[in-house]
Amino acid sequence: MALLDDLKKQAQQKSARDSVDLSKTLQRDEVNWHYIAPKLFILLDYFKDLVDTLNMVESEDYFRFNLMKNITFENLHKRNFRIKKELNDSLRSFSVRYDLQGEINKRIAVSNSAVTEKLRNLLKQHNIKFSEVIEGKDRTVFVITPIFTTKFTYSADVKACCIVLDIENYDGIWTQTLRYKPDAIDDSLMDETAKYMLGKPNRFMELSGYTMPDEMRSELRKRLDSKPGNPKITTPATEAETKLTKPDQVNQDKSFNFLNLFKK
């Protein structure tokens, strides 16, 4: 019985240690949450005001959106700004959303089964409205409605004691994650975030700790786009139609006056 007694004693000791560790973790997370929560409420209040203002102003600035390397939508407006809370009872996460909208559907002619499947899956995955027209054995025409939803999602990471910002579909099908210590959330950062959302000159990336110059980032994107194997666009059949003939690759990796955002 001595062996069994020793094993029971070890199990009891481990259970006690686990209980202590769990208690410490819960206490730490609770402390971190009380540190993070006020900043999330500040962000939410700020963006509620911003959303209400933007929906009244409706800027006429134009934007573009890269669906795939060879598929770009032009002359889009930012519309339908809104807030979505992930959990109604606890502000652990919320997102600021808006739609990039165009007036003319785009026709994409595809003459390759692999590209057809890739494009179809991409559109479905991102809930983009489209229809298909079969025009022969190897040719499919996609008619795409130009409405793309951009999301800025803020969430609490209580373990790391920080606020996480996930940006989706800003000007293309890509996602970026930024992390902020609670002290970093201030009027300046929120104002620069609003300018970034609206495509105005801003210091958003700089204040977010992302210091790569725009010129370097543009050059890096050009180099990635020119890698061997990336297909070239063929001559469009019409002004609103693009032909794809080879497999493509999806592009990855209160003192503030809101009305001033629309001044040139």
Please report the DSSP string for 31-79 in residue order.
Answer: HHHHHHHHHHHHHHHHHHHHHHHHHHH-----EEEEEETTEEEEEEEEE
- Rounded CA-CA distance 152/164 in Å is 10
Supply 171's token pair: 């000007």
**The pLDDT of residue 207 is above 60:** yes
pLDDT band of residue 136 (cuts 50, 70, 90) is confident
For 92, left (φ over 0), alpha (ψ -120 to 50), or beta? alpha
- What are the pLDDT digits (tens) for 31-82? 888 889 999 999 999 999 999 999 998 888 999 999 988 899 999 999 999 9
pLDDT band of residue 235 (cuts 50, 70, 90) is very low
pLDDT band of residue 239 (cuts 50, 70, 90) is very low
Mean pLDDT over 142-149 rounds to 95
Residue 4 lies in a domain: no
Query: Of the segments 8-17, 34-43, 218-227, which one has the largest average pLDDT value?
Result: 34-43
Residue 259 lies in a domain: no
Q: How many domains does the chain have?
A: 1
Q: Whole domain around residue 45: which residue ranges?
A: 19-253
Residue 101 lies in a domain: yes
Does the pTM surpass 0.75? The reply is: no
- Rounded CA-CA distance 240/63 in Å is 17
∠ CA(48), CA(52), CA(54), 5° rounding? Answer: 115
Residue 9 lies in a domain: no
Residue 11 lies in a domain: no
- Rounded CA-CA distance 182/198 in Å is 24
- Rounded CA-CA distance 24/18 in Å is 10
**The pLDDT of residue 90 is above 80:** no
pLDDT of residue 210: 75
Residue 54 lies in a domain: yes
Please report the DSSP string for 91-109 in residue order.
Answer: -SEEEEEEEEE-SS-EEEE
∠ CA(39), CA(45), CA(46), 5° rounding? Answer: 90
